[in-house]
Structure 1
Amino acid sequence: MDRFLSIEAFVRVAETSNFAKAARQLGVTSSVVTHRIQQLEKFVNAPLFHRTTRHVRLSDVGEAFYRECAEVVGRVNELTDQMRELRATPTGRLRIQMLPGFALGHFGALLAEFNRRYPGIQLDVIVNDRVVDPIEEGFDVAFQIFPAISDSLIERRLFTVRRLFCAAPAYLHAHGAPQHPRDLLEHTTALYSGYPSRNRWTMTRSEEVIEMDLPGMIRSNSVHLLRDYALTGGGIVCLPTLVASASLLDGSLVPLLVDYSLSTMDFAAVYPETQRQGLKVKALVEFLAGELGPEPAWDVPLIERGWVK
């Protein structure tokens, strides 16, 4: 029995609660994972999981054993990557999830430079806006704007995501511009559907706090679709600046209600504890942090104009 392979299989099954998912992440068959777990159970002389046709959960012995094993696997991976770092540049495949708002319009150019800097890393990039557990879904790192869903995940903030309301000049010429947040209720609005606050919106100006329900005539999980809708003069939209900045600066969209602030969010890299010192993950996250800087380039001119804070 290869004890480390068996322990690694045990950790993956414990984290995913699924033998098939663990097998996919390890690149082996389910029967191999099952065999490794059986060998480990025989070695420790105790069942590590309670299994039914629908569920896999740790036994009492398994729970105690998992904490130690996860640390061992993480430490071995860390040491292996440290030795690779001493001898060579990072190599291998990195599976990531990327938020569409950043993937379209920003990430492609950065990827080209990353490839030149780290030619040994191959990237599988899955683009969607779901909040995921990287462990359960087999990602090495996920980039998202909402907090990590598990305390066992590491979260590295990369930049602030700011939002504002805006519309095309044609729409404002035909319908006028809102002067107060509640004026939005009298306009055609199109809004992102994925925010946790749903239809509830809060805007602040000094000590003034405006809370209101704003359902929106159109709701979508695509901020790029909302931008395109606004550019046609269809209505007022709320967009993250990373998507709207270029259109705001060239005048095809006009910022609205800039005296009022919407809450911001953090664009962050989220990855498993076992990837804390993973060489490929570290290379990508540090690269993005260095390229984006303390304030992303798309926000600097908007801040200078006083459109966002």
Structure 2
Amino acid sequence: MDRFLSIEAFVRVAETSSFAEAARQLGVTSSVVTTRIQQLEKFVNAPLFHRSTRHVRLSEVGEAFYRECSEVVGRVNELTDQMRELRATPTGRLRIQMLPGYALGHFGAPLAEFNRRYPGIQLDVIVNDRVVDPIEEGFDVAFQIFPPIAESLIERRLFAVRRLFCATPAYIDAHGAPQHPRELLQHTTALYSGYPSRNRWVMTRGDEVVEMELPGMIRSNSVHLLRDYALTGGGVVCLPTLVASAALLDGSLVPILTDYTLSPLSFAAVYPATQRQALKVKALVEFLAEYLGPEPAWDRPLIARGWVS
């Protein structure tokens, strides 16, 4: 029995709650994973999992063993990557999930630069805004605006996702611009459906805090669709600045309620703790942090105009 391979298989099954998914991530057959787990259980003389036709969950012994084993696997991966980093550039395939708001219009350029800098890394980029557990779904890293959904995940925040209410000049000429957040209830609004706060909105101005329910006439999980809708003059739309910045700067859209602030969200890299120092993940996350800088390019001119802070 190769103890490390058996422990690695045990950690993957514990994290994914699936022998099949653990096998897929390790690049072996399910029978190989099963054999490794059985050998490990025989070695420790205790069952590590409770198995049924629908569920795989850790036994009491397995839970205690997992806490130690996950650290061992993480440390071995870290040491291996450190040695590889000393001798060569990172290589291999990296499977990532990318938020559409950043993927469309912003990720292409850094992706090309990353490819030039690290030609040995192949990227599988899945674009969607679902909140995922990277471990369960086999992603090396997910980029999202939601906090991690499991304690076994690490979060590295990359930039603030600022948001503004805006509309076309024609819409404002026809309907007027809201002067207070509650006046939004008198307008046709279109909103992104995937924010963590759902329909609850909190806006602040100095010591004033306005909390309100804003259901929206139109709701969508596509901020690009909402921007296109706003550009038709259909109504007032709340957009992240990474999508709206160009239209705001050329005057196609006009910012509304800029003296009120919506709490910014964080665009973050979320990845398994056992990959904290994985060379490919580290290379991508550190590259994006360097590329984006302290303030992303789309926000700097808006900050200069006082539209966001």
Q: State the TM-score, normalizing by the size of structure 2.
A: 0.98
Deviation of 1:39 after TM superposition, in Å, equals 1.3
Matches within 5 A, 1:37-186: 37-186=37-186
CA distance in 1 between counterparts of 2:248 and 2:73 reads 49
Residue 36 of structure 2 corresponds to residue 11 of structure 1: no
Deviation of 1:196 after TM superposition, in Å, equals 2.4
- The one-letter code sitting in structure 2 at the alignment partner of 1:168 is T
Q: What secondary structure, in the 3-state scheme, does the structure 2 residue paired with 1:298 have? A: coil
- The one-letter code sitting in structure 2 at the alignment partner of 1:144 is Q
- The one-letter code sitting in structure 2 at the alignment partner of 1:132 is V
Q: State the TM-score, normalizing by the size of structure 1.
A: 0.98
CA distance in 2 between counterparts of 1:48 and 1:210 reads 51
Deviation of 1:45 after TM superposition, in Å, equals 1.6
Q: What is residue 226 of structure 1 aligned with on the other side?
A: 226
Q: What secondary structure, in the 3-state scheme, does the structure 1 residue paired with 2:237 have? A: strand
Deviation of 1:265 after TM superposition, in Å, equals 0.9
Residue 250 of structure 2 corresponds to residue 250 of structure 1: yes
- The one-letter code sitting in structure 2 at the alignment partner of 1:112 is A
- Structure 2 unmatched ranges of 5 or more: none
CA distance in 2 between counterparts of 1:64 and 1:187 reads 56
Deviation of 1:170 after TM superposition, in Å, equals 1.9
RMSD (CA atoms): 0.9
Matches within 5 A, 1:207-286: 207-286=207-286
CA distance in 2 between counterparts of 1:276 and 1:214 reads 39
Cα offsets for 1:115-149 (capped at 9, x unmatched): 00000000011111111111111111111111111
- The one-letter code sitting in structure 2 at the alignment partner of 1:3 is R
CA distance in 2 between counterparts of 1:141 and 1:19 reads 21
CA distance in 2 between counterparts of 1:308 and 1:182 reads 20
Q: What secondary structure, in the 3-state scheme, does the structure 2 residue paired with 1:204 have? A: strand
Q: What secondary structure, in the 3-state scheme, does the structure 1 residue paired with 2:107 have? A: helix
Q: Aligned pairs, how many?
A: 309
Deviation of 1:247 after TM superposition, in Å, equals 0.6
Q: What secondary structure, in the 3-state scheme, does the structure 2 residue paired with 1:237 have? A: strand
CA distance in 1 between counterparts of 2:173 and 2:161 reads 29
- Structure 1 unmatched ranges of 5 or more: none
Cα offsets for 1:155-208 (capped at 9, x unmatched): 111111100100111211222211111111111100001122221211111111
Q: Which 10-residue stretch deviates more, 141-150 or 111-120?
A: 141-150
CA distance in 1 between counterparts of 2:196 and 2:117 reads 37
Q: Which 10-residue stretch deviates more, 106-115 or 43-52?
A: 43-52
Structure 1 outlier segments of 4+, above 2 Å = none
Deviation of 1:225 after TM superposition, in Å, equals 0.5
- The one-letter code sitting in structure 2 at the alignment partner of 1:120 is G
CA distance in 2 between counterparts of 1:7 and 1:177 reads 62
Identity %: 88
CA distance in 1 between counterparts of 2:234 and 2:164 reads 17
Q: What secondary structure, in the 3-state scheme, does the structure 1 residue paired with 2:9 have? A: helix
- The one-letter code sitting in structure 2 at the alignment partner of 1:279 is L
Q: What secondary structure, in the 3-state scheme, does the structure 2 residue paired with 1:33 have? A: helix
CA distance in 1 between counterparts of 2:165 and 2:217 reads 15
Q: What secondary structure, in the 3-state scheme, does the structure 1 residue paired with 2:179 have? A: coil
Q: What secondary structure, in the 3-state scheme, does the structure 2 residue paired with 1:129 have? A: coil
Q: What secondary structure, in the 3-state scheme, does the structure 2 residue paired with 1:295 have? A: coil
